[in-house]
Structures are given as C-alpha cells and as structure tokens.
C-alpha cells in the first residue's frame, strides 16, 4: 500500500467524495466519445469538413483514447495516479478550449486527438485509484457497480447534452463545456485524492513494450476507422490490419521476455477476465456505432434539430439506470454470465429494429422501441462486465444508416456470445463480494479492465 492510499469506506464522507470525483472523471471521458455526434452537421458547415473526413470528429478521440490507454495506466504506476489524473484533466481542458476556438478542420481534429490522449491518461488512473482506495470487498464492489452504471449512462447523456448545447449557445460549446468541468475536477482532485507515491518506482519502464502496444493499437483503430471508406476488401485495409497484428504480436512476445512488462500476461489466467474485457469492448463498440449513425439518420433523413435528436435519447438515459439496478439484483440469483448474455441479446434486438428504420420514419413506432430494448439490455451488460473484471438523403442515405446500425447489432450480438466465456459470478456487484486477486495483480487487472471500456 502506497502512502496516502489508506483504505476508506463508502460510509465516510471522504470515501463518498472520492467516489463521486472518480465517477465524474469517467463521465467526462465517456461523454466526450459521443457529445460531438449531434453537432456534426454544424461542425461540418462551420469548419468545411468533407463528408468523408467528418468521421474523424468522433474517430480522432477514439483513436488516441484506445491507442494510449495501456501506456497511460503504466505512467500512473511510475509517476503516481493523482499526478496523472491531474495531467490528463489539464490536457483535456486545454485541447477542448483549442477545439472550441478552431477555425478549420485540421485544428479541430488535432484537438480531438489531444482530448483522447488526455482521457487515456485519466481513466486507468481513476479506476486504479478506485480499487486501491476501497479495499473492503463490499465497498469496492459497490463502487465498481456505480462506475459501471456511469459508463452506461454517459454515452447517451453525451448525445443529449450535445443537442442542448448545439441548439442553445452553439456547437462550439460541446468543446467549451469541458474546460468548465475540468475547472471543477482539478481542485476537487487536489483536495480529496490521496497523495500516492509511485507504486512501481523501482521498476524500469518497458519502453519497447509501450511503443509496440501503442503503435499496434493506433494501427488497429486507424484501420477500422478507414476501412468503411477504403473498403474492407481493399489491399490497403488488409495491409493496415496486418501491420497492427504484427505489432501486437511482437508486443506479446516482448511481454513474455522482458523483466518489467507493461502488461504481465499472467493476469489473463484470472478466470473469465479476458472474455469479460472483450465482451465489454465489443458491446461498447456496437453502442457507439448506434449513437453515431442513428443520430445522423434522425438529423439528415428525418430532419430533427440538434435538441430534438438529443432529446430522443432521454428515455434511454433514464432506462439504463433502472436496468443496471435490475441486472445487479438478477446477478445474485442466476449469476453474472446469463445476465450479461441476455442483456447483450436484448440490446442486439433493439439495434436490429433500429437497423430497419424507414425513410419516412417517426419516433414513437420506429425509434423508441429499439432504444428502450437497448436500454433494457445494455445496463446489465455494463454493470455485469464491470463486476466480472473485478472478478443521398433519399433512400440511399437511409440504406447506409440501416447497414451501419445493423453492424452495431451484430457487434452487440457477438458480445452476448463472448459473455458465455466470462466468469459466472452469482455475487451482487452492488453489495456482495468476490474472490479478490493477489495484491500485486490488482494494478494490472485494473488497467486491463480500463482498456476494455475504450
């Protein structure tokens, strides 16, 4: 245990303040993945994006967020979690301000890349702080349950907030709102977070592993982002995917050979951990795909205003919180594995319905049923996966959105299949315990779990 990281309980005032702060950090990071979606038509017009390049507004954030997550977690060990949270939050604030003031597309995309890097520093450090702060099994699981619910709520909340800001003070406020939030988080972090010493001060930094992992993740995300434009069968797409595979395979070899690995491969011997991480990654990918393309459909095909498109997600936002609580209770009776699998299947059915939206659709019959099914399913998925880790505008445009939404459906259905490989814990992630890993493995498991949410 590092200095300043003495165990706290949620029954103390300081413990509750730390949990709120860490959830605020997670909320900010997850919201930024979706808050620009509703503003895309306005951003395109104001900054002269081409239709092809517009995808880089959401994708640039996810590129660096996913690519640098593992590296950010290791830096938290070497430098200190509190310091890295502060550095990441400061970077998000500065980059968001730059993006809000951007006069052209290049500056805006650069700001989104920097935002993702800041988030990649913040999130693993925050999750590691949560698990090392609350060492009592009941408190830790309850905190992880709250964290999982925040993950489920934040993406939908980002769409809604983006619509309100775009329709109100203007699209630039989807960026300007971040410095305001950071101005609250930074002094709060200074006031309540423990002054932790680096937990790996004597270890050497695995520079080669960091380069290989970051390069491999960047190459993979870049290939996936560009593939829809280049074509999945294009030679360039396959070369990019092959480069990512080679880099990640080299990373695996390096981690087996180095004395101080960036990611000790032994943690994957933890029962169900790898399956839980992949389940969360695939499910979250399907959810983000749904938000992106459904929002474009509502605005470009149905003619919704930004605030109307944002308000369309209100039922999902509230329903996710309810379904997360239901999923937590069901896990105590039938186990987490069937809860995650059933939730992912329900969400997949919702995305399947949205994948058949018509050209002249209306909200109540064509959009709302799918959104409610997604909300019913995705809440248990996020809470269950978090617990398992710790344990043209005619017909052509509509057709394109249908295919994209159906892709999200298959991704989420895939998450349901993968969930069958997770550990089948029957313990309530909100109140009950699990068999905690060895003390020296907590950090590594936390970092791996954090990367799955990306």
| Global confidence as pTM | 0.70
| 155-159, 201-205, 425-429: which is most confident | 155-159
* Averaged pLDDT for residues 348-352: 86
283 has pLDDT over 70: no
User: Residue 109 and residue 107: Cα distance in Å, rounded?
Assistant: 6
Q: Which residues contact 254 (CB under 8 A, 6 or more apart)?
A: 206, 208, 209, 212, 261
Tally Cβ neighbours within 10 Å of residue 116.
28
Question: For residue 259, which phi and psi values (nearest 5 degrees)?
Answer: -75, -35
Q: Pick the residue with more confidence: 350 or 11?
A: 350
Neighbours of 202 (CB within 10 A): 7
| CA dist., res. 402 & res. 444, Å (int) | 39
The mean per-residue pLDDT over the stretch 99-110 comes to 95
Domains of the chain by residue range: 14-195, 206-259, 271-436
What pLDDT shows up at residue 84?
A: 94
Q: Give the DSSP per-residue string, 16-57.
A: HHHHHHHHHHHHHHHHTTTTTTTTHHHHHHHHT--TTGGGHH
- Which residues are CB-contacts of 175 (< 8 A; sequence separation ≥ 6)? 96, 97, 99, 100, 111
Distance of alpha carbon 139 from alpha carbon 325, whole angstroms? 16
| pLDDT (tens digit per residue) in 297-321 | 888 888 888 888 888 888 887 787 7
CB atoms within 10 A of CB 12: 11
Predicted confidence band of residue 351 (pLDDT cuts 50, 70, 90): confident
Position 434 pLDDT exceeds 70: no
The helix or strand, by DSSP H or E, that contains position 415, with its residue range, turns out to be helix 395-419
Residue 437: is its pLDDT beyond 50?
no
Measured torsion, CA atoms of residues 216, 222, 227, 232, in degrees rounded to the nearest 10: 0
Mean pLDDT of the chain: 77
- Note the pLDDT of residue 44: 92
**CATH tag, 14-195:** 1.20.1250.20
CA-based Rg of the chain, rounded to a whole angstrom? Answer: 21
Helix (H, G, I), strand (E, B) or coil at 258: coil
Angle between helices 173-192 and 81-100 (to 10 degrees): 160
14-195 and 271-436 in the same fold: yes
Lowest mean pLDDT among 191-200, 260-269, 376-385: 260-269
d(CA 144, CA 132): 12
CATH architecture, range 271-436: Up-down Bundle (1.20)
Tens-place pLDDT, residues 51-85: 778 888 988 898 888 778 888 888 888 888 999 99
């Amino acid at each position: 245990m590092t200095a300043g990281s003495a165990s706290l309980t949620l029954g103390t005032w300081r413990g509750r303040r730390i949990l709120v702060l860490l959830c605020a950090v997670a909320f900010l990071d997850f919201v930024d993945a979706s808050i620009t979606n509703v503003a895309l038509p306005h951003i395109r017009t104001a900054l002269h994006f081409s239709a092809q390049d517009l995808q880089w507004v959401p994708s640039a954030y996810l590129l660096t967020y996913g690519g640098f997550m593992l590296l950010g977690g290791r830096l938290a060990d070497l430098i200190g979690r509190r310091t890295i949270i502060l550095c990441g939050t400061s970077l998000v604030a500065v980059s968001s301000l730059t993006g809000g003031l951007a006069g052209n597309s290049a500056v805006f995309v650069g700001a989104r890349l920097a935002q993702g890097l800041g988030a990649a520093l913040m999130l693993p450090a925050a999750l590691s702080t949560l698990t090392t702060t609350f060492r009592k099994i009941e408190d830790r699981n309850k905190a992880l349950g709250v964290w999982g619910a925040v993950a489920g709520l934040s993406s939908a909340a980002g769409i809604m907030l983006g619509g309100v800001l775009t329709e109100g003070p203007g699209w630039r406020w989807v960026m300007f709102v971040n410095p305001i939030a950071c101005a609250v988080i930074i002094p709060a972090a200074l006031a309540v977070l423990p002054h932790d010493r680096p937990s790996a001060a004597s270890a050497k930094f695995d520079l080669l592993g960091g380069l290989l992992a970051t390069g491999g993740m960047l190459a993979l995300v870049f290939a996936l982002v560009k593939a829809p434009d280049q074509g999945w069968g294009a030679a360039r797409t396959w070369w990019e995917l092959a480069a990512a595979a080679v880099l990640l395979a080299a990373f695996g070899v390096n981690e087996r050979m180095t004395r101080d690995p960036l990611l000790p491969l032994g943690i994957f011997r933890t029962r169900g951990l790898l399956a839980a991480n992949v389940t969360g990654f695939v499910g979250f990918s399907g959810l983000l795909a749904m938000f992106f393309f459904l929002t474009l459909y509502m605005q470009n095909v149905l003619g919704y205003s930004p605030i109307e498109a944002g308000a369309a997600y209100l039922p999902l936002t509230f329903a996710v919180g309810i379904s997360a609580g239901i999923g937590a209770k069901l896990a105590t009776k039938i186990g987490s594995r069937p809860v995650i699998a059933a939730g992912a299947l329900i969400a997949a059915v919702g995305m399947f319905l949205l994948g058949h939206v018509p050209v002249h659709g209306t909200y109540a019959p064509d959009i709302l049923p799918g959104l409610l099914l997604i909300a019913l399913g995705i809440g248990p998925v996020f809470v269950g996966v978090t617990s398992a880790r710790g344990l043209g505008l005619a017909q052509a445009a509509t057709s394109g959105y249908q295919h994209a939404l159906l892709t999200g459906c298959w991704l989420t259905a895939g998450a349901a299949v993968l969930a069958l490989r997770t550990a089948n814990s029957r313990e309530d992630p909100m109140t009950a315990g699990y068999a905690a890993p060895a003390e020296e493995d907590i950090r590594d498991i936390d970092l791996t779990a954090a990367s799955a949410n990306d």
